[in-house]
Structure 1
Amino acid sequence: MTMTASVETLSASPTTVKTLVSPGGVEVWHVESNVVPLIAVAFVFEGGSAHDPHDKPGVAQMLARLLDEGAGEYNSDAFQERLAGRAIELSFNAGNDAIGGSLKTLVKHADEAFELLHLALAEPRFDQDAIERVRAQTIAGLRYQQNDPGVMATRRFFEEGFAGHAYGRPTSGTPETVAAITRDDLVKMHQAIIARGRLKVAVVGAIDAERLAVLVDKAFGTLPEARPLAVIEPVALKQVGSRFVVDLDVPQSVIRFGTQGIAWRDPGFIPAYVLNHILGGGAFTSRLFQEVREKRGLAYSVGTSLVSYRSAAMTWGYTATKNERVGEALQVISEEIMRLKNEGPSDEELQKAKDYLIGSYALGFDTSTKIAHTMVQIAFEGLGVDYIARRNALVASVTQEDIHTAAERIFGDGQMLTVIAGRPTGM
């Protein structure tokens, strides 16, 4: 086993992030903490819904839901009983670019927990009764969502913004595509993605490096080597400047709007992150919150966030307002974006944003699970084991010039892709 260590502290935490490589060659980011007798694991495999078959979106999501529905010699009920009998928490998820999951266990049950994780990853059963149960649940959920204006607005936004691209397909599929997914589709996706060479792992808890290395090999060491995946071509947000309406008979329209973005791996991300906080990411202090809600009472909530995928990035926002006030709300949002781009924030506004983002960062590390998930995400993005220690200094160094450059890249000429679910009037 080889080990290297970062001497930087984990934000305000007294613990340090170390990297270890198990005897089987699996790299792990590790924070040893003996505060409570728990172990939290987060892991992620490169490749997700973007790699679904073109005509069958929903395979990766369905795969993630089935990994703990029976594995090895245990059918679904028996597998869940083993987890419950030791209070082991195991879950899986799928996104556009990755399939991941988390494990939480008491130290005294670690051997069994890592063994069950191994079975779920290496020997999922995909029993037909489990497939049909998950299929029925998924289709029922999709049909229910067809009356949800937020879901429908989001889906249409991606369909238009990434038309013809893998990111434009519905990650959960449709009732029709989910109905067509076969066991063979699930097996092929599992073989393609659940492989050791695609893996990032982070572990936090009361466990030393020597024992952790053994457990990591138990869970991940026998997974197959990765085979090449299809390349997801880079794409920019499309239909910027267009508006689309999803007709739903509701008294309040749900709005999704978006512009270009900057990926987390891009050197310009941190200035874009600070800019977004000022525009719509700062909850009660953001410009959009003040202008749309506080001053005009147009909406209960409004905000923006940065979205970073492997092959795309965007800045997107949300709000909801009465049908007859949609036009007014969109005008206020557009004007505020252009005002921020053309005039920039005041020096005081910029400093307050940086102070908040620096001071609040440690709040995201108050549980072992949060720390593990943050570390595995940073590892997945390739930002380096010292990123957590460097991050606040990066925020502190953002200048007005940096903000101006980020605004030029994101906002451009101020045009947005806008989708409204409802029956807006007066636009």
Structure 2
Amino acid sequence: MTEHQSSDRTAAGLVRGLSGRLARAVAVVSFLAASALPVAAAEVQRVVSDGGIVAWLVEDDAVPLVAVDFAFDGGAAQDPKERPGVANMLSTLLDEGAGELDSAAFQQKLEEEAVRLSFSAGRDAFNGSLRLISDRKEVAFELLSLALNQPRFDADPIERMRAQLISGINRDATDPEAIASRLWSTSVFGDHPYARPVDGTAETVAAITRDDIADYHRRTFARSNLVVGVVGAISAEELKPLLDKAFGPLPAEAELVDVPEATPTFGATETAALPNPQTTIRVGTVGLKRHDPDYMAAYVMNHILGGGSFSSRLYREVRETRGLAYSVWSAVVPYSYAGVFLGGTATRADRASETLEILTAEFKRMADGGPTDKEFADAKRFLTGSYALRFDGSGKIAAQLVSLQLDDMPIDYFNTRNAQIEALTLDDVKRAAKRVLGEAPLTVVTVGPSSS
């Protein structure tokens, strides 16, 4: 039995137990993986609506599904300094009533029409996604338009979401990964907005008012800072009026506050005591922004050091050779206003010092000597050969279309990315390794028992 045949039978069984549009939605989701286009074959069209809304579109008629992702540049960096968490709180409220529909009525309408709508706030962007059956385009985009342009911000949903957010923040107060992330950010970014938690604190979320939420929405939701990516069974001509329906009523210009370039400082050692059998370790140093000429070389270097999972140096040294941790990682993190390089793991508390020594030694070894010829060749082969596998669904492609636009990348990036990697030399990667890992000290954060 082939993979597609298996999917056919699974979908058929589910549909027999359901009815109407919900059944069609389940069937389509079952086919989602099979609907993805190979990246190299994906023709990205730049669509401009009559109202001037721009979207990147990949048409794919394999299944009757449309995936829409969009983002407003700004994110949590636009939160009021004294009220971090506003953008995140807004993300929980946009589907909690809009126009004449209160929270219950709006959610019921989404369910009846088999429409999935979600929102999230990151440091630099506020993201949204819409998933729909292709024959429900009009109603789906109408619901999106209501959520974006006429959110109600009723008192009951605000208080319900406030309680949920504070509960989550309180849980994070005992989560070692969350503690390490926040401690690292405050140590490195100082007074910059990146030092503030995206979720806010229990105190700031408790203080957020309806006016704070409405003001953030008014300032940051506009056509000038909007990007849109669409994948699925929809043509450019069908898409144009729908873009105007959803996004056309937004203000023309956002009123974003100026966010300065961050000047991260490295070299500190921070600890947080937590009665836990393990110690969580977070280390980091200077990184590169997305348009830095050495970014792609640093990306390849990171794959060899700790981004390549089972094939990485950190995995071999920390897990395979010494059995110190289940997982260990590193990452190039290009924010809009800073670039950082991060690594981390969690290990037995009594072996935390040993694990940290290995992490820092591997960072230094990469900075001093770079990768070997074989590591470099293997990394290039893997990164180019596996690229298409990262897009195994329409939603992933739509999300990538949005990310590329936020990063101001060219529309043909899917077709040129592998060539950029192939063009790199070993000296390029060694230079990036020295620049990232050899020019600034590490900031080290540990979270675990006070005796570790």
Q: What is the TM-score when the length of structure 1 is the normalising length?
A: 0.95
Give 1:152's aligned amino acid.
Answer: I
State which of 271, 291, 309 in structure 2 corresponds to 1:283.
Answer: 309
Matched, 1:83 2:110: yes
Deviation at 1:349, TM superposition (A): 0.7
* Aligned 8 A contact 2:67 2:230 in 1: yes
1:151 aligned residue (178, 186, 189) = 178
Q: Which amino acid aligns with 1:134?
A: M
CA distance in 1, matches of 2:255, 2:113: 37
Q: 2:217 matched to 1:190?
A: yes
Output the CA distance in 2 between the equivalents of 1:424 and 1:289. 27
AA aligned to 1:36 is: V
Counterpart of 1:217?
244
Question: Contact between 1:42 and 1:101, CA under 8 Å: does it hold in 2?
Answer: yes
d(CA) in 2 for partners of 1:112, 1:215: 10
Query: Could you tell me whether the CA contact under 8 Å between 1:155 and 1:170 is conserved in 2?
Result: yes
Do 1:49 and 1:59's aligned partners in 2 also have CA atoms closer than 8 Å? Answer: yes
By how many angstroms is 1:388 displaced?
Answer: 1.3
The one-letter amino acid paired with 2:310 is F
Provide closer, same or farther for how the CA distance between residues 107 and 394 of structure 1 changes in structure 2, counting only shifts above 3 A.
same
Which of residues 336, 352, 360 is equivalent to 2:378?
Answer: 352
Per-residue deviation, 1:14? 2.9
Contact 2:269/2:445 (<8 A) preserved: yes
Deviation at 1:20, TM superposition (A): 1.1
Residue 331 (structure 2) aligns with: 305
Report whether the alignment pairs 1:332 with 2:358: yes
Report the AA paired with residue 369 of structure 1: G
Residue 251 (1) aligns with residue 277 (2): yes
CA shift for structure 1 position 12: 4.2
1:176 paired residue number: 203
- Secondary structure of the equivalent of 2:340? strand
Structure-2 separation of matches of 1:325 and 1:384: 46
Change (3 A) 1:41 1:343: same
| Structure 2 residue aligned with 1:7 | none
Supply the AA of the counterpart residue of 2:272: V
Q: Secondary structure at the match of 1:173?
A: coil
Residue identity opposite 1:339 in structure 2: R
Corresponding residue to 1:135 among 162, 176, 193? 162
Q: What residue is the counterpart of 1:377 in the other structure?
A: 403
CA-to-aligned-CA distance 1:170-192 (integer Å, 9 cap, x gap): 11011100000000000100001
Give the deviation of 1:13 after TM superposition.
4.4
User: Does the residue aligned with 2:41 lie in a helix, a strand or coil?
Assistant: coil
Aligned CA distance change for structure 1 residues 425 and 290 (closer, same or farther; 3 Å): farther
- For 1:317, give the aligned amino acid: G
Structure 1 residue 413: deviation in Å? 4.4
Q: Distance in 1 between matches of 2:364 and 2:108?
A: 56
Code of the residue aligned with 2:303 in structure 1: it is: H
Instruction: Name the structure 2 match of 1:112.
Output: 139
Partner of 2:98: 71
Partner of 2:12: none
C-alpha separation between the residues in 2 aligned to 1:258 and 1:116?
Answer: 43
Aligned residue for 2:44, secondary structure, equals strand
User: What's the CA shift for 1:115?
Assistant: 0.4
State the match for 2:58 in structure 1: 31
Q: 2:81 aligns with which of 45, 54, 79?
A: 54
Identical positions, percent:
47
Q: Which residue of 1 aligns with 2:23?
A: none
Q: What is the CA distance between 1:237 and its match in structure 2?
A: 2.6
Give, in angstroms, the shift of residue 414 of structure 1: 6.2
| Cα deviation, residue 265, structure 1 | 2.2
State the Cα distance separating 1:268 from its structure 2 match.
1.5
Letter in 1 for 2:295: F
Q: Which of residues 388, 392, 397 in structure 2 aligns to 1:366?
A: 392
Q: Paired residues, what number?
A: 416
In the aligned structure 1, how far is the partner of 2:440 from the partner of 2:288?
Answer: 16
Task: Give the match for residue 416 of structure 2.
Answer: 390
Aligned 8 A contact 1:323 1:424 in 2: no
What is the RMSD computed on CA atoms of the aligned residues? Answer: 1.2
Q: Which runs of 5+ in 2 are unaligned?
A: 1-36
Q: CA deviation at 1:119?
A: 0.5
Q: Which amino acid aligns with 1:265?
A: H
For 1:138 and 1:325, locate their aligned partners in 2 and report how far apart those are by CA, in whole Å. Answer: 35
